[in-house]
Amino acid sequence: MEYNMQLLVVMITYMTLLILWGVYQGRKVKNSSDFAIAGRNLPGWVAALSERATGESSWALLGLPGAAYATGLLEIWTAIGCVAGIITAWALIAWRLRDEAEKYEIDTFTQYIAKRHGEVGKWIRIVGSFTIVFFFFFYVGAQFLGGGKTLHAMFEIKPQYGMLITAAIIIPYTIYGGFRSVVYTDVVQAIVMITTLVLGPIIGLIYVSNHPELFASNISEALRLAGPEYNTMTGAFTGFAAGVAIVGGFSWFFGYLGGQPQLSMRFMAIHNAKQAKRARNVGIVWTIVAYIGALTIGWLGIAIFGPTGLADREYVMPAVLLEIFPPAIAAVLITGAIAAMVSTADSLLILSATEFSENLMRERKDGDKTKKLIRHRIVTASLAVIALAIAYIAPADYIFTLVSYVWAGIGGTFSVVILLTLFWKRYHGRAVLLTIITGLVFTVIWIQTGMDEKVTSRMLTFFVALFAAVAGTYLIPKKQE
């Protein structure tokens, strides 16, 4: 009870300061471009930390350590896939998207694709934006659900009240400051996250080596004692099953190649080429350190609690931190993990709002940017209320099923669109539309028929969409402007 009270005090303080920081940054928003993309004027280190906080959020602090705790060395393939995808994105895609955003003066993700393929730009804006807004509605709703469940588990607050608390934290500064407020609050989250993922493993390794009464005194011994399914990179699978397990982990690579709009917008918002190089370096170093730390925390969980010592594997990070740190310090670090979900929720909300406002409510002639700013804020507030209502009304399993489409259906599909738009001059607008529709339809069918359990759609959607893109480019004539 004493620990819960400390955690509650730390969390209230942390969240209050976070909201105030977001509101302060929102004071610098003067027009719709500031609201939608921070005026494309972000310092490189800010863009990098925001992109990493948004891209990883609770995955790096809860999901990945939990998976490492449950599967041992097998989870290395997931880490390799993610890290390889992130490094590729920062090294080959980020600076190109930044240059393109400046060249075409864009404020949203689909606006860029539409301007690059202007012959059918209107339809690209409509189809692309509608797809993103629809699925991200449920994604935001899932973050509210996750916040409600976490607060219920930690403080026995009713999940419905927990969702309201989660929404109350992010909605005010997101409505007020838009993308700028979201980005600068992300920076705080990223710093707390990396602190947790550095200090946790270092102190944890020292702790287990000094406590022989635990399951094991080091990670190597813990994995060996846990059994062959933990101590090999194939999870004790052999033959085809081992290949499927490896491919399934590595398949996360394909979703990072420019196809996640909430991440690509950070690339587009970087101020200049010099800042883009700085962002690349910060983003890559943060990622490598964070993934090593996340895996290590999961394996430390095995050393401390044994492979079956925790009922819920995704609570291995809080459990390890509480074991190795005094309650006050653990409370600070765990609060960062809980707050990491905010980094995803506010980013998804502002992305959906700007896509809807700029592309689905597009006026024949854009008025002044001050009036558009008011419209952006009204749309953001409206979408936040709808997403919260969805979280209350829709069955949780239905919401999470739709969220499962995002990484493959959105990430895999739009990765193909972005890559070919950047690197293949022959790729044209009609082929873009075919790519988007094919990728999304395939993902929905593949997951709904249960085939995703056999071969993951995270990889297949990318290649199906790529086939449709190449075939469409050669077989469908380009529309003349």
pLDDT score at 283:
96
CA atoms within 13 A on the CB side of 289: 18
pLDDT over threshold 90, residue 199: yes
Instruction: Assign 102 a pLDDT band (cuts: 50, 70, 90).
Output: very high
User: How high is the pLDDT of residue 481?
Assistant: 60
- The more confident residue out of 392 and 279 is 279
- Which token pair is 15? 């969240």
**Closest listed residue to residue 346, CA positions, set 168, 197, 196:** 168
Q: At what angle do helices 159-209 and 369-393 cross, to 10 degrees?
A: 90
Beta bridge partners of 42: 270
Residue 393: CB atoms within 10 A of its CB come to 9
Using the CB atoms, write b or e for 294-325: b if 16+ within 10 Å: bbbbbbbbbbbbebeebeebbbbbbbbbbbbb
CB 339 within 8 A of CB 18: yes
pLDDT tens digit sequence for 34-66? 999 999 999 999 999 999 999 887 778 888 899
The answer for residues whose C-beta is within 8 angstroms of residue 171's C-beta and 6 or more apart is: 349, 381, 384
Provide, rounded to the nearest whole percent, the portion of the chain with pLDDT above 90: 51
Q: How large is the average pLDDT for residues 461-477?
A: 95
What CA–CA distance (Å, rounded) separates 101 from 269? 8
Cβ-proximal residues to 465 (8 Å cutoff; 6+ apart), any chain: 412, 413, 416, 417, 435, 438, 439, 442
Alpha helices in 252-368 (DSSP H): 261-268, 273-305, 316-324, 327-355
pLDDT digit string, tens, across residues 358-403: 888 765 455 566 778 888 899 999 998 988 888 888 776 666 666 6
pLDDT at residue 338 tops 80:
no
Residue 3 has pLDDT above 70, yes or no: no
* 0.85 surpassed by pTM: yes
Residue with tokens 């101020």: 271
Task: Identify the band that residue 331 occupies on the pLDDT scale cut at 50, 70 and 90.
Answer: confident
Question: Degrees (nearest 5) of the Cα angle 442, 447, 448?
Answer: 100
In this structure, what token pair is assigned to residue 444? 């929905």
- Would you state the structure tokens that stand for residue 26, as one six-digit string? 């929102």
Q: What separation in angstroms does the CA of 368 have from each of 30, 312, 350, 374? A: 11, 52, 20, 11
The 3-state DSSP class for residue 215 equals coil
Q: Are 262 and 133 in contact (CB under 8 A)?
A: no
Q: How far apart are the first and last CA of the chain?
A: 68
Q: What is the pLDDT of residue 203?
A: 96
CA distance 428 to 417: 10
Structural domains in the chain? 2-395 (1.20.1730.10)
Residues 6+ apart with CB under 8 A from 304: 204, 207, 208, 214, 215, 319, 320, 323, 324
Count the alpha carbons within 13 Å of 12 in the hemisphere toward its beta carbon.
6
Band of residue 461 on the pLDDT scale cut at 50, 70, 90? very high
| Separation of alpha carbons 103 and 112, rounded Å | 10
Output the CA angle 82-106-114, nearest 5 degrees.
Answer: 80
